[in-house]
Structure 1
């Protein structure tokens, strides 16, 4: 049986606009329609907290499947920037995987979800070591002996998933397959893309980020994170302030390089991997994907439609990515 491909995604004509797809993806209506899927993942889930080797604390949740005598394996899901383990796309993916017999672990990145109080240090996109360590801890705790482990990530979470897969051999992470949906490839281009896209995209991300930073400041009033003037800046300006004041990178360019996977940076990837993106993604330019140097282990799948991490296939606002990810993970389990 052949696996679904991006070209198979053919939504109704009125849903073939990248902006429409992207905006519907995070709409309140969609959260309402997908409540049954959210309940399926959250009911019986166990919240967990990891204290890592450097004292950083991260959280997540494990949900055990109930449809098979033995789980197919452990599926790990990463959310995007300013998302969480309770984001709609994470829950819908988790529900599909549970139905297919996977145990599902969802990881919160630092300062995402209800975790701002756990660490004094701020989240930034180069914190790959703590994500690798938390992923290894999740595998050690929740994987059945010899069961396959798979990893899916969305947007910035897709970027993290690709970097974790790159480090998997050295970190002894037994990943059978990784899927990155609309991942951030070149942060330089991504920042420019958000600045030049229709105003609502930068407004949306900045609204969520400013709210997150204000919450952090309230929890740690003794810390001088940002001034009111800093918070009035746009995406580039506020990112530069964070980099120069709260990281070791020194310059914005050095920081953006720090989590880039552009050009030849994925050429040594050994884990079987699928990258799914859309021609009409208004956030991540498709040109970045076509310029990648990829090894045979990596499948690049560019769909004609889908927006940013959306791929909404019908007016029930269900996503094509549910079955897409599940089918590839099932195939990986069969191979293993």
Structure 2
């Protein structure tokens, strides 16, 4: 199965396709998406908030889709709403676990979340598996997709005992290449600034919880994701520095070890992810399928006549997961 996506003529360029999808397109379709929140206690004394899509018509053993969000994402993100609409149409169930600190409430431990958090993915998927006996799939968006693919590479054949299929969407599986791309030129002025505007205040809340955790003056001086990761993300999660973090957390080197049906979807005009760093068939196992359309931006993939919609990508990804597990 393949997906022949082409962006609409009226929405040219990776930046417009990225920004329009996130800020404009989702508002054109009214949805009655409702979530029910469940709090899970983690083994280290912290918590994870899981939002379950309200699907009263879904059978108990209907397939479950677990959606891992991207950097600073949540169940309010545009892609979460788009996948929710697709799942509702199919009569499936959907759960979105929030990475620590992303559910609207500060987490308790002296840590946050990061792009290679495959141990966290492993624990969350194991909890979903304990609750659900039917078919189970997982999709990771951007950061969440890198962590998911990192997990699959670590697990090898064992992953098939937990999940029936996985997909990453616009994930920076080469974190070094993507990090430097976000930190330069237009991307730095727009996207890096946007991310830092929410990441810095949250980091300072964490410092208030744990005085001395990092240097607040160093944090306030940073204007790049590289600098933020050097002060906050890397040291809090056991990495020497940003370079060590980006190298060890990247999913790309592990794609050859994946042994569960896996889809890796990346637009070649994604402003965050240089096309020349994307995996080729030589980089992946036979279990991995690569979709690399020429357009789509970063988690964009707007389709149809103006004003467009976001339904095509979730439909194609979910259908691939269903077909790949047959």
TM-score if structure 2 supplies the norm length?
Answer: 0.89
Residue 170 of structure 2: aligned partner: 182
Q: Distance in 2 between matches of 1:274 and 1:165?
A: 12
2:200 corresponds, among 203, 206, 210, to: 210
Mapped pair 1:272 → 2:261? yes
CA shift at 1:176, angstroms? 1.3
Residue 221 of structure 2: aligned partner: 232
Give the unaligned 5+ runs of structure 1. Answer: none
CA shift at 1:206, angstroms? 1.8
SS of aligned partner of 1:175: coil
Residue 195 of structure 1: aligned partner: 183
Q: Distance in 2 between matches of 1:126 and 1:10?
A: 31
SS of aligned partner of 1:257: helix
Mapped pair 1:281 → 2:276? no
Q: Distance in 2 between matches of 1:269 and 1:9?
A: 25
Q: Distance in 2 between matches of 1:128 and 1:71?
A: 27
SS of aligned partner of 1:283: coil
Contact 2:145/2:168 (<8 A) preserved? yes
2:117 corresponds, among 127, 150, 161, to: 127
Residue 330 of structure 1: aligned partner: 322
Contact 1:66/1:98 (<8 A) preserved? no
Contact 2:159/2:259 (<8 A) preserved? no
Give the unaligned 5+ runs of structure 2. Answer: none
| Cα distance change, pair 215–14 in 1 and its aligned pair in 2 (3 A) | farther
Mapped pair 1:311 → 2:301? yes
CA shift at 1:165, angstroms? 2.5
* Matched ranges for 1:136-147 at <5 A: 136-141=126-131, 143=132, 145=133, 147=134
Q: Distance in 1 between matches of 2:308 and 2:68?
A: 21
Residue 20 of structure 2: aligned partner: 24
CA shift at 1:149, angstroms? 0.7
Contact 1:178/1:272 (<8 A) preserved? yes
SS of aligned partner of 2:39: strand
CA shift at 1:69, angstroms? 4.7
Q: Distance in 2 between matches of 1:14 and 1:228?
A: 45
TM-score if structure 1 supplies the norm length?
Answer: 0.86
CA shift at 1:130, angstroms? 2.0
Give the CA RMSD over aligned residues.
Answer: 2.3
User: Between Structure 1 and Structure 2, how many residues are aligned?
Assistant: 319
Contact 1:126/1:259 (<8 A) preserved? yes
